Amino acid sequence: MISPYCNTEAMNEFLSQLSTCYNNYRIILILDKAGWHISQSLQLADNIHLLHLNPYSPEQNPVELLWREIRRTYFHNNIFNSIDEVENTLETALKNYHLNKPAIQKLSNGFL
């Protein structure tokens, strides 16, 4: 299990790189309330503002709709013999959605 401290460190590194790459922009990140998203030890640059979703509101987070669709289409009623099979199935699903822009647009309808 990855500790929240490690995730907070990774989040701080991500925020630092994001701020540096887009230093001429004001950035608003929309996040769920994962422990490392709300940690008091986050180091926010002046050009980054965090906006948190309401708890238990997957309908407000379009990526949750993608994960739900992937589970339904690629994982429902399947038994995998190894973690490699799970990873390969997920990789196939993500590649297929990457190549199918209309499917992503349909899932994100109302968000984008």
- Let me know: does 52 contact 37? Beta carbons within 8 Å: yes
8-54 pLDDT, tens per residue?
Answer: 888 899 999 999 999 999 999 888 887 778 888 889 999 999 988 88
- Angstrom distance (rounded) from CA 23 to CA 45: 9
pTM for the model: 0.53
Map out the domains of the chain as residue ranges. 4-55, 60-107
pLDDT above 80: residue 5: no
- Determine the pLDDT at residue 90: 95
